[in-house]
Amino acid sequence: MDATLIAAPSSTKNKDNARDAQMRSSKKGNNWYFGMKTHIGVDADSGLTHSVRGTAGNVHDIVEANALLHGEESNAFGDSAFQGADKRADAKESVTGMWP
């Protein structure tokens, strides 16, 4: 599992003089980005993508972690942003406690 930022123009120099209402700011490292995030679940053995979710840029990775699982996993791999996903209320029973 991982998430990727998708940049969008933050300019308000458009017909409506406004930013896109579905885009938000997000900080990665010391840099700020404006746009959306794509959260992706991939099968570790085959490398095939099985889940994709798009959210505003300010949605934390852990919020979407359990939605990226299909429930038949024996292991789940993600970076430190996914730590504690198994303790969340939306954790699937079949994957509780399997995070490395």
- 49-79 per-position pLDDT tens digit: 999 999 998 998 888 888 888 877 777 888 8
Closest of 52, 53, 57, 55 to residue 9, by C-alpha: 57
DSSP E strands, 8-48 = 24-28, 31-42
Report the SS3 class of residue 25: strand
Provide the residue ranges of all domains of the chain, joining segments of one domain with +: 2-95
Q: Which amino acid makes up residue 51?
A: S
pTM of the model: 0.74
pLDDT digits (tens, 9 = 90+) for 4-14: 888 887 777 77
